[in-house]
Amino acid sequence: MASSKSQGAYGFDPSGLERAAKAAKELDSSPNSKNAFELSLKQEEVKKTEMEARIKELDIQRVAIDHQERRKTLEKEVEMSKQKSLFDDKLAKERYQQQLEDHARMQEMNRRRDEESIAKQEQMRRQTLEYEHQLRVEADKKRILSREQAKIERLRSTKDLRYEEIKLKEDERRRTLKEVWTTNMEVVGTGLKGYLGNFSNLASLAGGLTLAFFGFQFAKAAGRLSTSIIEARLGKPSLVRETSRKTSVTELLKSPFVKIYEQTLVKGRFMPTTTTQREKDILEGIFINPDLEVNLKTLAHSIVNRKKHYAPFRNLLLYGPPGTGKTMFAKSLAKHSGMDFAILTGGDIGPLGKDGVTELHRLFDWASTSKKGVLLFMDEADAFLRKRTTEKISEDMRNSLNALLYRTGSASYNFMLVLASNTPDQLDRAIHDRVDEIVKFDRPEEKQRLQMLYHYLLQYCSPSSSIRKKLINVIRDPRTLVFKRTEIGMKGVDDEFIEKIAKRIDGFSGREIYKLVIAWHDAAFNKQNAILTPELMEAVLENHIDQHKQREEWNKTIIT
User: Does residue 525 have a pLDDT over 60?
Assistant: yes
Q: What percent of the chain is modeled with pLDDT above 70?
A: 76
pLDDT in tens, 544-559: 999 989 988 887 775 5
pLDDT in tens, 58-73: 888 888 888 888 888 8
Report the alpha-carbon distance of residue 191 to residue 195 in Å, rounded: 6
Q: Are 350 and 390 in contact (CB under 8 A)?
A: no
Residue, of 526 and 470, whose pLDDT is higher: 526
pLDDT in tens, 393-445: 888 888 999 999 999 888 888 888 999 888 888 888 999 898 988 988 888 88
Contacts of 312 (CB under 8 A, 6+ apart): 306, 411, 412, 413
What is the pLDDT averaged over residues 326-352? 82
Confidence of residue 541 (pLDDT cuts 50, 70, 90): very high
Residue 552 has a pLDDT of 86
pLDDT in tens, 102-119: 889 899 998 888 889 898
CA 360 to chain centre: 32
pLDDT in tens, 31-41: 666 676 677 77
Residue 10 has a pLDDT of 47
Edge-to-edge strand ranges of the sheet holding 374-379: 242-243, 340-345, 374-379, 415-421, 316-319, 437-440
Residue 455 has a pLDDT of 86
What are phi and psi for residue 559, nearest 5 degrees? Answer: -65, -45
The mean pLDDT value of the chain amounts to 79
Residue, of 449 and 167, whose pLDDT is higher: 449
Residue 64 has a pLDDT of 87
User: Does residue 474 have a pLDDT over 70?
Assistant: no
Report the alpha-carbon distance of residue 373 to residue 238 in Å, rounded: 19
Residue 274 has a pLDDT of 56
pLDDT in tens, 130-182: 888 888 888 888 888 888 888 787 777 776 677 777 888 888 888 888 888 88
What is the value of pTM for the model shown?
0.54
Residue 484 has a pLDDT of 61
User: Does residue 5 have a pLDDT over 50?
Assistant: no
Confidence of residue 188 (pLDDT cuts 50, 70, 90): confident
Confidence of residue 542 (pLDDT cuts 50, 70, 90): very high
Confidence of residue 6 (pLDDT cuts 50, 70, 90): very low
Residue 390 has a pLDDT of 72
Residue 388 has a pLDDT of 80
User: Does residue 269 have a pLDDT over 60?
Assistant: no
Q: How many helices (H) and strands (E) does the chain have?
A: 17, 8
Strands, E assignment, 320-381 = 340-345, 374-379
Residue 17 has a pLDDT of 67
What is the pLDDT averaged over residues 528-548? 89
CA 304 to chain centre: 43
Q: What is the 3-state secondary structure (H, E, C) of 249-284?
A: HHHHHHHHHHHHHHHHHHCCCCCCCCHHHHHHHHCC
What is the pLDDT averaged over residues 98-102? 89
Residue, of 206 and 11, whose pLDDT is higher: 206
Residue 202 has a pLDDT of 66
Residue 538 has a pLDDT of 92
Confidence of residue 340 (pLDDT cuts 50, 70, 90): confident
Residue 78 has a pLDDT of 87
Residue, of 30 and 74, whose pLDDT is higher: 74
Task: Tell me which of 63-77, 125-139, 227-241, 384-398 is least confident.
Answer: 227-241
Contacts of 348 (CB under 8 A, 6+ apart): 239, 241
pLDDT in tens, 489-517: 888 888 899 999 999 999 898 889 999 99
Distances in whole angstroms, Cα of residue 138 to Cα of each of 108, 127, 131, 132, 541: 44, 16, 11, 10, 85
Residue 419 has a pLDDT of 92
Residue 481 has a pLDDT of 58
